[in-house]
């Protein structure tokens, strides 16, 4: 396939390497021409995953990338930019979204912004650095069109990257968004030194509220027990490379959310997603206490106060 990967960050870079290793013709479309020129000249991304060899991957600015001639456009940009990017895409090739979040303008799932072409979503426990190094990983592709999902599955699956198919697009996208918010809370637990018991309880109850949202939103609860749900939640909440976990840890140690994001130096999707997810839960009448608590901390209440609120809630059944 002739594939254009839009987004020269860590995940876009790793996925471009993965596709090229699978024999596809790949162009990595970067935000600016300077980054693209450096990749063409050195075979390295000068900003992200700088030690990964990109030999065999072409690079261009987004404006100059051969999107109109592509068989597939992979979009790996921040959620805040997703709508603008997909609306400007020429041609009619299907879009495969790697972005995990919700649209801050419409407060809707990102796939709903792709209205002029088929769209699929890839999600799962996929730390970019590990995928780029060829370490074993698995993911799920969700799409309303089973033939397209299977086509993409066959185009991407390799001995190091196993892809499953799922037709629950709503569930997979909500998993991808919600897990980042829970990871902020998990990082807070790390930053406060609350221990493994507390963190495991927090993550487990986070999965419960993710599933509660899924049921009301029309998704299948079992999706939240799969790769896009529990799998991605586990790796996001425990990986030292997880931006959202790291951001929560820094906030727990005294940084403001803005200071934490600056120190990390990359987009922390949970910061954008948390208030959108909370508002969605309000509209659907779903109780999501951890998400509410994360938003309260982002608004300035001490993390220790949030902990007290969660632990002092009325006892209930599991």
Q: Tell me, yes or no, whether 212 lies in a domain.
A: yes
Q: Which helix (H) or strand (E) covers residue 116, if one does? A: none
Residue 114's contacts (CB-CB under 8 Å, 6 or more residues apart) are 86, 95, 97
Q: Tell me, yes or no, whether 317 lies in a domain.
A: no
Q: At what angle do helices 169-192 and 269-284 cross, to 10 degrees?
A: 120
Last residue of a domain, one of 101, 134, 167: 167
Q: Tell me, yes or no, whether 318 lies in a domain.
A: no
Same domain? 142 vs 6: yes
Over its length of 318 residues, how does the chain's per-residue pLDDT go in tens digits? 999 999 999 999 999 999 999 999 999 999 999 999 999 999 999 999 999 999 999 999 999 999 999 999 999 999 999 999 999 999 999 999 999 999 999 999 999 999 999 999 999 999 999 999 999 999 999 999 999 999 999 999 999 999 999 999 999 999 999 999 999 999 999 999 999 999 999 999 999 999 899 889 999 988 999 999 999 999 999 999 999 999 999 999 999 999 999 999 999 999 999 999 999 999 999 999 999 999 999 998 887 777 777 776 666 766
Same domain? 85 vs 207: no
Same domain? 131 vs 10: yes
Token output for 176: 């991808």
Q: Tell me, yes or no, whether 241 lies in a domain.
A: yes
The DSSP letter of residue 76 is: -
Q: Would you name the residues annotated as active-site residues?
A: 179
Token output for 257: 């959310």
Burial of 254 (0-12, 13-18, 19+ CB in 10 A): exposed
Same domain? 178 vs 290: yes
The CATH number of the domain holding residue 183 is: 1.10.1040.10
Question: Number of helices (H) and strands (E), helices first, in the chain?
Answer: 13, 8
Same domain? 157 vs 210: no
Same domain? 177 vs 152: no
Token output for 203: 């993550």
Same domain? 187 vs 149: no
Number of domains in the chain: 2
Token output for 13: 């870079």
Full residue range of the structural domain in which residue 7 is found: 2-167
Last residue of a domain, one of 141, 167, 193: 167
Q: Tell me, yes or no, whether 316 lies in a domain.
A: no
Q: Tell me, yes or no, whether 137 lies in a domain.
A: yes
Same domain? 126 vs 228: no
Quick one: which of 130, 222, 137 has its CA closest to 175?
222
Q: What pLDDT was estimated at residue 12?
A: 98
The DSSP letter of residue 315 is: P
Q: Tell me, yes or no, whether 251 lies in a domain.
A: yes
Same domain? 23 vs 157: yes
Q: Tell me, yes or no, whether 24 lies in a domain.
A: yes
The DSSP letter of residue 109 is: B
Same domain? 125 vs 191: no
**How many residues in total does the chain contain?**
318
Last residue of a domain, one of 121, 143, 167: 167
Q: What pLDDT was estimated at residue 305?
A: 76
Q: Which helix (H) or strand (E) covers residue 178, if one does? A: helix 169-192
Q: What pLDDT was estimated at residue 303?
A: 76
Same domain? 116 vs 148: yes
Same domain? 25 vs 119: yes
Spatial separation of the C-alpha atoms in residues 163 and 155, rounded to whole Å = 10
Spatial separation of the C-alpha atoms in residues 8 and 114, rounded to whole Å = 20
Angle at 96 between CA 260 and CA 31, to 5 degrees: 50
Token output for 225: 């027990």
The DSSP letter of residue 192 is: H
The CATH number of the domain holding residue 82 is: 3.40.50.720
Spatial separation of the C-alpha atoms in residues 163 and 286, rounded to whole Å = 31
The answer to whether the CB of 83 falls within 8 A of the CB of 113 is yes
């Amino acid at each position: 396939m002739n594939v254009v990967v839009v987004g020269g960050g860590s995940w876009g870079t790793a996925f471009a390497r993965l596709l090229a290793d699978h024999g596809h013709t790949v162009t990595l479309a970067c935000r600016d021409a300077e980054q693209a020129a450096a990749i063409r000249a050195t075979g390295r991304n000068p900003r992200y995953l700088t030690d990964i060899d990109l030999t065999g991957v072409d690079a261009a600015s987004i404006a100059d990338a051969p999107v109109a001639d592509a068989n597939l456009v992979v979009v790996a940009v921040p959620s805040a930019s997703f709508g603008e990017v997909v609306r400007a895409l020429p041609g009619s090739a299907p879009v495969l979204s790697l972005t995990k979040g919700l649209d801050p303008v419409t407060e809707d799932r990102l796939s709903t912004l792709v209205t002029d072409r088929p769209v699929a979503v890839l999600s799962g426990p996929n730390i970019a650095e590990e995928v780029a190094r060829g370490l074993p990983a698995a993911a799920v592709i969700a799409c309303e069109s089973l033939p397209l999902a299977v086509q993409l599955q066959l185009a991407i699956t390799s001995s190091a990257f196993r892809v499953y198919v799922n037709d629950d697009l709503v569930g997979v996208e909500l998993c991808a968004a919600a897990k980042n918010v829970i990871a902020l809370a998990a990082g807070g637990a790390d930053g406060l030194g609350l221990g493994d018991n507390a963190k495991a309880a927090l993550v487990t109850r986070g999965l419960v509220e993710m599933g509660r949202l899924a049921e009301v939103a029309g998704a299948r609860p079992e999706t939240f027990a799969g790769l896009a749900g529990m799998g991605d939640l586990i790796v996001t909440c425990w990986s030292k490379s997880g931006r959202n976990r790291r951001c929560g840890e820094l906030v727990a140690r005294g940084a403001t959310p803005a200071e934490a994001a600056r120190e990390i130096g990359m987009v922390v999707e949970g910061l954008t997603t948390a208030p959108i997810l909370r508002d969605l839960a309000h509209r659907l009448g779903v109780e999501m206490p951890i998400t509410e608590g994360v938003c309260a901390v982002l608004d300035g209440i001490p993390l220790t106060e949030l902990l007290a609120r969660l632990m002092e809630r009325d006892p209930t059944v599991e």
